Structure 1
Amino acid sequence: MQNKKVTFADWGLLDYQRAWDKQEEVFAKTIEVKHDNRVNGTQNPTPNHLIFTEHPHVYTLGKSGHQEYLLLDEEGLAEKEASFYKINRGGDITYHGPGQIVGYPILDLDNFFTDIHLYLRTLEEAVIRTCAEYGILAGRYDGYTGVWIDADNDKARKICALGVRASRWVTMHGFAFNVNSDLSYFGNIVPCGIDDKDVTSLERELGRKLDMPDVKQKLKKNIADLFEMELR
């Protein structure tokens, strides 16, 4: 039986390692329920979680990424008050920092749909709809993941990056949506391994700082609607 109930949490500004550890704990518990159901024939519903957070300045490198795309040495990282982690998601290097909504959906896709491609496209669609609520026309860029503005011309710029991990159809990691981000930090990496495209934020596009709780509320609703979640 599908369980579309999803527990929402906003972890606020949280150290990346701490958030990763908490994610892994929730992820492991969900896998454990699935394992018990399969091995013992129980039918306990698997839990689903949608987590929003922000991180202090940090660069993360996916398992298939290239460390040379980090353009800072240890001294440079210290000067920028930034940390660096190699992590177990897909994708290359990216940046997280204050003013960016980082979303960690830890979902059992057996409760929704077992299609990772569709999962990524659905997360993108939630961000696209949120941008539209602020009068920004965003969309997809053939050959790339994430959400882009002006993807059909040489001014293409990315406003949201995606990188996920899935095991037994349970997901973790997720997306990073630039709202009031300090975009200068992207200058210290080759973002997602793409060296000829710009990065943007809602603040840059609109010329004003956004109310983070308002953006989070819109984004949360769009995710819930698209996945037909029952948020708690």
Structure 2
Amino acid sequence: MSFGLFCKTILNRTELKGVPKLRGVQSFSYATDSCSAKRKTHPIDESAKAIRHLQFTRRLPFEKGLEIQEQFSKAQLDIKELHAKIRRRLAKLQEENVNMTINDSERQIIDNILSMKPNPIVLTFEFDPTYTGGKRIKKTMTPEQIAQFESFVPSRDSSDARPKFVQVERGGQITYHGPGQMVAYVIMDLKSFDNFPARCFVSGLEDSVISTLKNLKVGDGQQALDIDAKLTEETGVWTVDNKKIASLGIHVRRSVTSHGVSINVNPDLSYMTSFEMCGLPGVLPTSVEKQRPDVVLNVQDVAVKFVNELAKTLGVSTVERMQLDDMDLKA
């Protein structure tokens, strides 16, 4: 599968500091119902030893970002299905022919195919104003409710485009995506990492957000952003004044993840106060801008730091970053 890329800069390969080399790394044991906030994993497949970060620097329609994500997710799933078919076929042949042998040339071809796996990919976006509905409200949304979302007028800039409503296949209920918000979609095979079920993946995303808000360098690069954030019984990341600064919603199919996390950098928060966030009455949103009004920060700064922090959480020492304006999916 090929994609036509409108590239803004050339591929940038970053070696992350503070990530141990993979040789001799200790294997941690996780319980699927208990993922400590500071526990990390590491790659067990060669393909997972580098993360590819596609950083979209121009604001895009939400549907375009969703389509890009689905293309990469499909590529991961197609390779996974190909591997499964090969293994099933080999098992069947061995069962039918007990004395069957595979010559060296055939074995090399099979091994080469089985070793072909896409790298983990993180897509980061800034979207046009969009309300999205998760699977929990898919059957309950009425046309009247959708029309209400799409007719909302923001308080900061009433001339901005009206938001759209889009139904998606992630978990959760209503979420807003729009200008001033960093959205990261993470597409990776959880089986490529050591003992890393979906529950631990969610914890890893939350940890990465918290580290981003705490450690992102601002100003002259010597001062940390130093926003203290925390977890609650609800999914997402919250500031110490109990306001939500980041939302999470993931989808996992045959251990391949999609969707991910959004961090409020400097959005018009009125978009998020127009509905009941997370299905919880009284929950209020906040942003980096509200927490640190003295700091000038943009979505792209947060995108780079978040992906680097996620790589550390995953035990990955290399991030390959490409900046894009758009992507031609018809090529």
TM above 0.5, yes or no, is yes
2:231 corresponding residue in structure 1: 140
Residues 114, 169 of structure 1: 8 Å contact kept: no
**In the alignment, residue 231 of structure 1 is paired with which amino acid?**
V
Residue 306 of structure 2 is aligned to residue 219 of structure 1: yes
Residues 58-111 of structure 1: CA distance to partner in whole angstroms, max 9, x if unpaired?
000101127569996526624531000111000111100111100000011111
**In the alignment, residue 102 of structure 1 is paired with which amino acid?**
V
Secondary structure at the aligned position of 2:67 is classed as: helix
1:149 corresponding residue in structure 2: 239
Residues 69, 189 of structure 1: 8 Å contact kept: no
**Segment of structure 1 superposing worse, 21-30 or 211-220:** 211-220
Secondary structure at the aligned position of 1:214 is classed as: helix
Counterparts of 1:102-181 in structure 2, within 5 Å, are 102-112=183-193, 113-133=195-215, 134-141=225-232, 143-150=233-240, 155-181=241-267
Secondary structure at the aligned position of 2:172 is classed as: coil
1:10 corresponding residue in structure 2: 55
Regions of 4+ moved over 2 Å: 65-76, 211-217
**In the alignment, residue 61 of structure 1 is paired with which amino acid?**
G
TM-score by length of 1: 0.90
Deviation at 1:178, TM superposition (A): 0.4
Counterparts of 1:1-232 in structure 2, within 5 Å, are 2=45, 3-4=47-48, 5-12=50-57, 13-41=59-87, 42-47=113-118, 48-65=120-137, 74=147, 77-78=150-151, 80=153, 81-112=162-193, 113-133=195-215, 134-141=225-232, 143-150=233-240, 155-208=241-294, 209-229=296-316, 230-232=318-320
Write 1 or 2 for the structure with the bigger share of strand. Answer: 1
**In the alignment, residue 183 of structure 2 is paired with which amino acid?**
V
Flag the structure with larger Rg: 2
Residues 60, 87 of structure 1: 8 Å contact kept: yes
Secondary structure at the aligned position of 2:235 is classed as: strand
Deviation at 1:190, TM superposition (A): 1.1
Deviation at 1:46, TM superposition (A): 2.2
Any unmatched runs of 5+ in structure 2? 1-43, 88-112, 154-161, 216-224, 321-331
Deviation at 1:130, TM superposition (A): 1.1
TM-score by length of 2: 0.64
Secondary structure at the aligned position of 1:145 is classed as: coil
Secondary structure at the aligned position of 1:144 is classed as: coil
Secondary structure at the aligned position of 1:161 is classed as: strand
Deviation at 1:127, TM superposition (A): 0.7
The RMSD of aligned alpha carbons is: 2.1
**In the alignment, residue 204 of structure 1 is paired with which amino acid?**
K
**Segment of structure 1 superposing worse, 78-87 or 205-214:** 205-214
Aligned-partner Cα distance in 2 for 1:200–1:217: 21
Deviation at 1:37, TM superposition (A): 0.6
Equivalences, count: 227
**In the alignment, residue 181 of structure 1 is paired with which amino acid?**
P
Any unmatched runs of 5+ in structure 1? none
